[in-house]
């Protein structure tokens, strides 16, 4: 068996490298809103490159998140965990799962981002607690734990989710924070701007363009998530990573397609039987 201790693992920042290799084409991601390893594998076989593990709204546990990160790594997919907040417990436990990205929602201030950095990065950048046997640190099977910690400082992508008018007003400050990329949340941003549900509204698109332009000025990567109707807007803006489905939506869409097709076939067959019976009645 090959000793992995001297193997530096995946290239330093996997997300940035994958974006570079995509030649200006957005990476495509799928979200898991429940613990669903089967959907993860299906998504990979279909060509999705990134999986989002949802822990803000969904009931996925940290143990399940670690398992999903492990499975995704085995298929070559990148992983993003969205946690509810930037509290030490949330950030640290997510980081120990070994994802490629951690995203915090509802970021309004640089102070929130500073809290994320503090708990996600090891010293001297941050103050992440020492724990040498996590999945993120390969369970301690490395020659030099401090060197591995510094590798993680460079490799783990941190994302601040921009989805309020307060964040929009401070986008210049937020985009200027070193080594933190941006996730645009269109649905909540639309609600905050007074146009709930209108993710194609000119007001929302203008705000999105402002965020993207500011992010580019500071050389930041841009992530977003949207439905099919809004794909053209975000493709035009040139985001780096687009989450375009999730396991619940995909399940509903497939089931609805089958249900509609079955009902249509039954309706046609029923009409045919009814017509034949009417003709038989006339003949008699």
Confidence label for 276 from pLDDT (cuts 50, 70 and 90):
low
Q: What is the mean pLDDT of residues 178-204?
A: 98
b/e sequence 48-87, b meaning 16+ C-beta within 10 Å? bbbbbbbbbebebebebbbbbbebbbeeebbbbbbbeebe
pLDDT at 2: 43
pTM of the model: 0.89
* pLDDT of 275 above 80: no
Helices (H), 159-246: 165-169, 171-175, 186-192, 202-217, 231-237
Q: Is 129 helix (H, G, I), strand (E, B) or coil?
A: coil
Quickly count helices (H) and strands (E) in the chain.
12, 8
217 touches 176 (CB < 8 A): no
Q: What is the C-alpha to C-alpha distance for residues 97 and 269, in angstroms, rounded to an integer? A: 53
Q: What is the C-alpha to C-alpha distance for residues 233 and 155, in angstroms, rounded to an integer? A: 30
Q: Is residue 83 part of a domain?
A: yes
Q: List active site positions.
A: 57
Q: Is residue 177 part of a domain?
A: yes
Q: What is the mean pLDDT of residues 11-39?
A: 92
198 touches 190 (CB < 8 A): yes
Q: What is the mean pLDDT of residues 1-29?
A: 73
- Check residues 28 and 139 and name the one with the higher pLDDT: 28
14 touches 155 (CB < 8 A): yes
pLDDT at 45: 98
User: Could you give the percent of the chain with pLDDT greater than 90?
Assistant: 84
Q: Is residue 193 part of a domain?
A: yes
179: region left, alpha or beta (phi > 0 left; psi from -120 to 50 alpha):
left
Q: What is the C-alpha to C-alpha distance for residues 278 and 128, in angstroms, rounded to an integer? A: 78
Question: Which domain CATH number covers 104?
Answer: 3.20.20.60
Domain count, the chain: 1
Confidence label for 284 from pLDDT (cuts 50, 70 and 90):
low
* pLDDT of 203 above 60: yes
Is the previous residue joined to 124 through a cis bond, with omega within 30 degrees of 0? yes
Q: Is residue 7 part of a domain?
A: no
Could you tell me how far CA 137 lies from the centroid of its own chain? Answer: 22
Q: Which domain holds residue 88?
A: 14-283
Confidence label for 109 from pLDDT (cuts 50, 70 and 90):
very high
The DSSP string of 131-165 is -TTSTTTGGG-SS-HHHHHHHHHHH-EEEEEE-SH
Q: Is residue 54 part of a domain?
A: yes
Q: Is residue 2 part of a domain?
A: no
pLDDT at 229: 95
Q: Is residue 258 part of a domain?
A: yes
* pLDDT of 196 above 50: yes
Q: What are phi and psi of 111, to 5 degrees?
A: -65, -35
pLDDT digits (tens, 9 = 90+) for 60-104: 999 999 999 999 999 999 999 999 999 999 999 999 999 999 999
Q: What is the C-alpha to C-alpha distance for residues 87 and 255, in angstroms, rounded to an integer? A: 39
Nearest to 78 by CA among 177, 156, 191, 178: 156
How many alpha carbons lie under 13 Å from residue 136 in its C-beta half-sphere? 31
> Across the chain, which distance is largest between two alpha carbons, in Å?
94
190 touches 150 (CB < 8 A): no
* pLDDT of 281 above 80: no
Q: What is the mean pLDDT of residues 238-259?
A: 97
Q: What are phi and psi of 34, to 5 degrees?
A: -155, 170
Q: What is the mean pLDDT of residues 147-170?
A: 96
């Amino acid at each position: 068996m090959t000793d992995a201790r001297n193997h530096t693992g995946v290239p330093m920042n996997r997300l940035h490298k994958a974006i570079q290799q995509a030649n200006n084409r957005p990476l495509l991601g799928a979200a898991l809103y429940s613990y669903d390893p089967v959907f993860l594998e299906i998504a990979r076989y279909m060509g999705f490159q990134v999986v989002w593990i949802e822990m803000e709204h969904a009931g996925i546990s940290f143990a399940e998140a670690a398992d999903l990160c492990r499975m995704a790594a085995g298929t070559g997919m990148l992983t993003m965990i969205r946690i509810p907040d930037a509290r030490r417990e949330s950030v640290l436990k997510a980081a120990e799962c070994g994802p490629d990205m951690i995203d915090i929602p509802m970021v309004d201030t640089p102070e929130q981002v500073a809290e994320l950095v503090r708990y996600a990065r090891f010293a001297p950048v941050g103050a992440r607690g020492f724990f040498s046997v996590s999945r993120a640190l390969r369970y301690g099977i490395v020659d030099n734990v401090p060197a591995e910690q510094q590798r993680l400082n460079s490799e783990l992508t941190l994302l601040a989710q921009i989805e309020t008018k307060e964040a929009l007003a401070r986008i210049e400050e937020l985009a200027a924070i070193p080594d933190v990329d941006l996730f645009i949340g269109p649905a909540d941003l639309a609600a905050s701007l007074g146009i709930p549900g209108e993710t194609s509204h000119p007001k929302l698109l203008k705000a999105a363009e402002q965020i993207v332009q500011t992010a580019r000025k500071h050389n930041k990567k841009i992530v977003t998530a949207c439905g099919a109707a809004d794909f053209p807007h975000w493709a035009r803006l040139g985001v780096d990573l687009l989450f375009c489905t999730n396991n619940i939506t995909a399940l509903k869409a497939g089931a609805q397609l089958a249900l509609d097709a079955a009902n249509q076939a039954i309706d046609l067959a029923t009409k045919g039987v009814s017509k034949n019976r009417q003709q038989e009645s006339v003949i008699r």
